[in-house]
Chains A and B, each alone.
Chain A
Amino acid sequence: MKKYILLLSLLLPVACSAQVAYGGPPSNPGNSNGVGNSYDINVQINNPAYFTYTNVDELLQPKVVTNAFQLSFKASPHENTRVFAQIDFSNKRRSVPEGWLSLKLFNSTSSTAVADNNPVALSSYPMLLITQPPVPGNNTYSFVYNVILNPLTKHVRPDNYNFTIKFTMTKP
């Protein structure tokens, strides 16, 4: 009986955490999502991150979608709030260069956040994007980003590459 209770006490938090962490897929490509409670991180799409190459010289130049989206979240009054970003390409059969896309901070409403002004190269692993120190009150801060398609040095096979950039906000 003790074993069952111990197991239950361990499993319940896992189940609850998974439910909290799930943001769900957006209904349409390029749309924002968020679930509407006070701990949410929300994304608002300003300019969809759709890129098209039309000639070979464009492979060697960066392409930028300026003011692509706005991240907003409420800062914790007690701890650092961190936002991580990672990317997932749907074309698993194609190899995609590491760091093909980057995010660059365009502007933000926070004067205390630590957010790199240099482009942050996206990877399949979470990369730290923003560290917002604790702020008294229940302030919501916004961070607007450009999406950069970086120049290529290696072949990328002709195809249509759909990607999802996932933002994870953590509070210790």
Chain B
Amino acid sequence: MISRYTYIILISLLLPLIGYSQNATVQGNVSMPSLIDLEVTYPNNMQIGFEDLEEFAHGKEYRNCINLSVKSNCPWVVSVKSGNNAFKSTSNVRTSVSSNIISLKPSGKSAYIPLTNSPTPLLFSDNDDVVNNYTLDLKMDTPWNAEGGQYGLNLIFSVSAQ
């Protein structure tokens, strides 16, 4: 007669064969460097100017005049500076117009940031999306002592990881 211990051992050996699984693995790797890109476009070619005395007296604002597209895999900050302290005349006028008559702000925000020739933070990533698009508003104050003419200025945008 088979003892009850024999049954227990038999059950112990058979049970693993009822449920069965096998494993195998594949290993791999993703190398992820810091990746940031900034694209700046000017929908209206940024030809700005005063058209009458009213505008000249009160300054002029251009809404949504600059588009920024930031692509990144990490938090970022966009800064802006002017290429020079002053506008350069493109029509042989002698007066100098300071670059800080130009201010910028993200559309929808209230505080304008005057341009200087040092990078000034303008936008921070406020979400973790890879692609973010923004528009900027531009304000031009009155250049009181400027001669009539044409002036040019470079705006330099930069983006870096936070």
Contacts and interface: CB of A to CB of B under 8 A. Distances in A.
A164 B26 contact: yes
B111 interface: no
Nearest to A49: B28
Contact of A13 (B16, B128, B130): B16
B143 to A, nearest CB: 38
A170 interface: yes
Contacts of A41: 22-24
A88 B72 CA distance: 25
Contacts of A53: 30-33, 35, 73
The interface centre, meaning the residue of B33, B37, B75, B129 with most chain A CB atoms within 10 A of its CB, is: B33
Contacts of B72: 56, 155
Contacts of B22: 20-21, 23, 35, 39-41, 73, 168-169
B20 interface: yes
Contacts of A20: 16, 20-22
Given A5-B4, A154-B128, A154-B130, 15 more contacts: A12-B13, A16-B13, A23-B23, A29-B28, A30-B28, A35-B22, A51-B28, A51-B30, A153-B131, A157-B32, A158-B33, A160-B29, A169-B22, A170-B20, A170-B21
Given A16-B16, A158-B74, A165 B30 contact: no
Contacts of A158: 32-35, 73-74
Counting from the closest, the 4 A-B pairs by CB-CB distance are A49-B28, A23-B23, A13-B15, A12-B12
A62 interface: no
Q: Is the interface of A mostly helix, strand, loop or mixed?
A: mixed
Interface of A: 5, 8-9, 12-13, 16-17, 20-23, 25-26, 29-35, 39-43, 45, 48-60, 68-69, 71, 73, 100-101, 147, 149, 152-172
Contact of B28 (A16, A165, A166, A172): A165
Given A59-B130, A154-B130, A23 B26 contact: no
A12 B12 CA distance: 6
B26 A69 contact: yes
Nearest to B70: A56
B68 to A, nearest CB: 14
Contact of A59 (B4, B8, B29, B35): B35
A64 to B, nearest CB: 13
Interface residues of B, number: 36
Contacts of B128: 154-155
11 contacts: A12-B15, A21-B21, A23-B25, A29-B29, A30-B26, A48-B28, A51-B31, A59-B35, A60-B131, A165-B26, A166-B23
B11 interface: yes
A18 to B, nearest CB: 9
B5 interface: yes
B65 interface: no
A1 to B, nearest CB: 10
Nearest to A154: B128
A171 B35 CA distance: 45
